[in-house]
Chains A and B, each alone.
Chain A
């Protein structure tokens, strides 16, 4: 159990276009999901916390108007990179929180490789 999927697994787009990445919790409901970005040879950087039915919470330095997050259901969060530029090329990873007793466990998707040309 506790499977998280992402779609697409990789995408190539032209500079100036928008790209949507989906994150789904397949066998559990997740009121909270997270979006991370990872550049080559670097660690994961938290971009934002996606909350079902409410606005996402963005980390400092992350442009909310550029990285649009929608968490419209308990199993789906989407990240849209608007007006993408080559510097947005990165590995985007989502995770979903699942209740585990008194605390929560975080399960990760396989990641989406975005290349902006």
Chain B
């Protein structure tokens, strides 16, 4: 599966949008982009995933560039409870394993 690159840390003001970037320049045509987050001392939580099109759910929006080499996770109105490490993972649909990088540590500040 393709590797991903994320900034190690980001800050965001409460109530503002948090935009978390991810580079996956070696992504293959059959690989999805998944986003998870991990709040301190908890198990990871699934956020969203996509293949080509932008996706939105109750938690976030996922914007994937046309060439699919990068994506951005958007938390539209960040709250203090969104402080967590956010992981961008690329994997093919028939691969059941997730390979975890170091993610982006997002701090939402009051």
Q: How far is the CA of A74 from the CA of B38 in the complex (A)?
A: 26
Q: Are A43 and B97 in contact (CB under 8 A)?
A: no
The verdict on A67 contacting chain B, using a C-beta distance below 8 Å, is no
Q: Are B97 and A34 in contact (CB under 8 A)?
A: yes
Partner of A93, one of B44, B46, B99: B44
Q: How large is the interface on A (under 10, 10 to 19, 20 to 34, 35 or more residues)?
A: 20 to 34
Q: Are B46 and A106 in contact (CB under 8 A)?
A: yes
Could you tell me which residues of chain B, from 49 to 99, have a CB within 8 Å of some CB in chain A?
Answer: 87, 93-94, 96-99
Q: Are B41 and A32 in contact (CB under 8 A)?
A: no
Which of A14-22, A81-89, A108-116 participates in binding chain B? A108-116
Q: How far is the CA of A93 from the CA of B100 in the complex (A)?
A: 13
- Chain A residues contacting B45 (CB-CB under 8 Å) are 108
- Chain A residues contacting B43 (CB-CB under 8 Å) are 4, 6, 93, 95, 108-111
Total of A-B residue pairs, C-beta within 8 Å: 48
Could you tell me which residues of chain B, from 1 to 51, have a CB within 8 Å of some CB in chain A?
Answer: 38, 41-46
Q: How large is the interface on B (under 10, 10 to 19, 20 to 34, 35 or more residues)?
A: 10 to 19
Give the secondary structure class of B's interface: loop
- Chain B residues contacting A95 (CB-CB under 8 Å) are 43-44
- Chain A residues contacting B41 (CB-CB under 8 Å) are 91, 111, 113
Q: In the complex, which residue of chain B has the Cβ closest to the Cβ of A45? A: B100
Q: Are A108 and B44 in contact (CB under 8 A)?
A: yes
- Chain A residues contacting B44 (CB-CB under 8 Å) are 44, 93, 95, 108
Give the secondary structure class of A's interface: strand
> What are 19 A-B pairs at a CB distance below 8 A?
A4-B43, A34-B97, A34-B98, A42-B102, A44-B44, A46-B98, A49-B96, A49-B97, A91-B41, A93-B43, A102-B93, A105-B46, A106-B96, A108-B45, A108-B46, A109-B43, A110-B43, A111-B42, A111-B43
Give the Cβ gap from A77 to chain B, nearest Cβ, in Å.
14
Q: In the complex, which residue of chain A has the Cβ closest to the Cβ of B36? A: A108
Q: In the complex, which residue of chain B has the Cβ closest to the Cβ of A44? A: B100
Q: In the complex, given contacts A46-B99, A91-B41, A93-B43, what are 8 additional A-B residue pairs having Cβ atoms less than 8 angstroms apart? A: A44-B100, A46-B97, A93-B44, A102-B93, A103-B93, A103-B94, A106-B96, A108-B46
